[in-house]
Amino acid sequence: MTSGVARMRRSRREGVPLLALVVAAAGAAVFVLPLIGLLWRGFGSDVWEALTAPAVRTALWLSLVCSLSATGFAVVFGLPLAWVQARAQFPGRTLLRGITMLPIVLPPVVGGVALLLAFGRRGLLGQWLDEYLGLRLPFTTAGAVLAEAFVATPFFILTVEGALRSVDRRLEDAARTLGAGRWTVFRRVTIPLIRPSLQAGAVLCWARALGEFGATITFAGNFPGRTQTIPLAVYLALETNPEAGIVLSLILLGISLAVLVGLRQRWWSVL
């Protein structure tokens, strides 16, 4: 105990070794310099002109629609899935959890290929959708939403499942003993308890959906107004109109910063 305290005091007095400081600074530069580069080139350009260009407005609007729809998907399907994964006992639960988390680490292009093989016109389910319902997802906005939802929903599930696991079950039990039904308990006790996580998960999921590129272009293709979301527009604009590409990048950067600031209490205090 005493020696532990002494060690802590000593380490505080010693400070950070110079070598670590230098290497850390080089590491930080990797994160800081691209940010400065974007701001440096971005503020030289006419932001307003780029923002009002019809192509940019179309991409912005489409991105908003797709990312919000993907977040809607995440809430509608992800919440029950998170609940099942957190609470239900069944064989294969670990496997299910692994599979629903996979898109977080999976390269998005691979995700896009996998989506094609499942929901494409020749895909596992896609061929039936096409034949019996005339429903085709590739090259449609619905396809872009599906690609974004595939990549982003795991972030919602991960956040909410963690929260559901840490809920004090005695509060739910108490409500049950007082005569509340399971649905009432879920709605009136569980949901309020996990509300901060629901919000954080939804925001995180939305931000990831907004930035989705690889799965979208692979599965949904690229067409202005239909599947060309901002990240795709940024990539293409760099080839024709770099100024617009940089301004669009700045917009995405601004949104990302806002998300980070919005979530700071949840994350920065924990870390």
Partner 1 sequence: MRLAGTVRVFAAASLTAAFQRMASAFEKAHPGVAVELNFAGSQTLVQQIQEGAPADVFASADETNMQKLVASGEIAGTPQLFAHNALQIVVAAGNPKHIGGLADLAKPGLTITLCGPTVPCGRYAGEAFGKAVLAVPAASQELDVKAVVTKVALGEADAGIVYVTDVRAAGSTVEGVDIPAASNVVARYPIAPLKSAPNPATAAAFVAFVLSPEGQKGLATFGFLPR
* Contacts to partner 1 by CB under 8 A: 116, 120-122, 136, 138-139, 217, 220-224, 227-228, 235-236, 238-240, 242
Pairwise CA distance, residues 146 & 39, whole Å = 32
Least distance in Å: CB of 28 to partner 1?
23
In the bound state with partner 1, the residue whose beta carbon lies nearer, of 24 and 33, is 33
Q: What b/e readout covers 115-149, taking b as 16+ CB neighbours within 10 angstroms?
A: bbeebbeebeebeebbeeeeeebbbbbbbbbbbbb
Name the residue nearer to partner 1 (CB basis): 14 or 239.
239
Smallest separation, CB 233 to partner 1 (Å): 11
- Report in angstroms how near the CB of residue 107 gets to partner 1 at its nearest: 17
Q: How many CB atoms lie within 10 A of CB 220?
A: 30
Residue closer to partner 1 by CB (options 45, 222) is: 222
Match 């293709």 to its residue by tokens: 221
Could you identify the residue written with the tokens 């971005």?
42
Exposed, middle or buried, 102 (CB in 10 Å: 0-12/13-18/19+)?
middle
In the complex with partner 1, the residue whose CB is nearer, 141 or 197, is 141
Q: Which is nearer to partner 1, 145 or 236 (CB)?
A: 236
Least Cβ distance, residue 138 to partner 1 (angstroms): 5
Shortest Cβ distance from residue 129 to partner 1 (Å)? 13
